[in-house]
Amino acid sequence: MARGPRYRRPFRRRFDGKTDYHKRLKLLKSRKLRIVIRTSNNHVSVQIIQSKLGGDEVLISAFSKELISKYGWAANTGNIPASYLTGYLAGLRAKKNDIQEAIFDLGMLYNRNRVLAACKGVIDAGINIPYNEEFFPDNIEERIKGTHIESYAKKLKSEDSEKYEQIFSGYLKTKNVNPLKISQIFSDSKKKIENNA
């Protein structure tokens, strides 16, 4: 650790790699609602937050675990299609509460693909968010629907069925989900979200 006379230790959250204070100050100065997307290995959470002097207030939230209990999602809640659906659910809830626009607060450390899928879900729900078209990769639409999972499962099943059973054991045994039909599960869950959100 540096000990020189000009060394100044950064704030704890900056030192831990959790908060970029310069970026946060810009977001707060905009005085707009923030869409905060956070991911873990198994889940995604999307919140719409209003900054206040006494502390931030969560106006809308959606958690990927809700997809299983309310919207018929049977696959893993930590993958790209589940991230999109969670963002879509949060966006529809925001529209119901007359929230028309917001800005993304992506934090410092994030799983890029799942966060981008959740961003796309919020935008597709009709929330006005400033973004650049280059922000999203070219193949995001097929990844959102889960066709990349289907094609990988199909390739594995034809080449090495033992490896297929091993990699997709969580789908096949514990959840009883066919990985070759992820896009169908995705479209069914999306319809349920549109009807019941």
pLDDT digits (tens, 9 = 90+) for 99-150: 999 999 887 766 688 999 999 999 999 999 998 888 888 888 889 999 988 9
The per-residue pLDDT for 171 is 82
Tokens 């319809």 — which residue? Answer: 191
Mean pLDDT along residues 31-40: 91
* Least confident segment among 7-21, 83-97, 161-175: 7-21
**What is the reported pTM?**
0.87
Q: To the nearest whole percent, how much of the chain has pLDDT over 70? A: 96
Direct distance between the N- and C-terminal alpha carbons of the chain, in angstroms, rounded to an integer: 51
Contact indicator for 64, 78 with CB cutoff of 8 Å: yes
Mean pLDDT along residues 61-72: 92
- Each residue of 56-83: b (16+ CB within 10 Å) or e? eeeebbbebbbbbeebebbbbbbbbbbb
Beta-sheet pairing, 44-50 with 34-39:
antiparallel
Token pair belonging to 40? 């873990």
- CA dist 180 to 13, 73, 76, 77, Å? 43, 15, 14, 17
166 burial type by CB count under 10 A (0-12 exposed, 13-18 middle, 19+ buried): exposed
Write the single-letter amino acid at 104.
F
The per-residue pLDDT for 96 is 94
Residue 1 has pLDDT above 60, yes or no: no
Residue 48 has pLDDT above 90, yes or no: yes
Residue pLDDT, tens place only, 167-190: 888 888 767 788 888 899 999 999
Give residue limits of the domains in the chain.
Answer: 18-144
| pLDDT tier, 81 (very low <50, low <70, confident <90, very high otherwise) | very high
| pLDDT tier, 2 (very low <50, low <70, confident <90, very high otherwise) | low
The per-residue pLDDT for 109 is 60
Mean pLDDT along residues 26-51: 90
Contact indicator for 188, 62 with CB cutoff of 8 Å: no
Any idea what the Cα angle at residue 129 is, between residues 124 and 130, rounded to 5°?
125
Other beta carbons within 10 angstroms of residue 47's beta carbon come to 18
The per-residue pLDDT for 110 is 64
DSSP H or E segment with residue 104 = strand 103-105
143 burial type by CB count under 10 A (0-12 exposed, 13-18 middle, 19+ buried): buried
Mean pLDDT along residues 3-26: 78
CATH number for region 18-144? 3.30.420.100
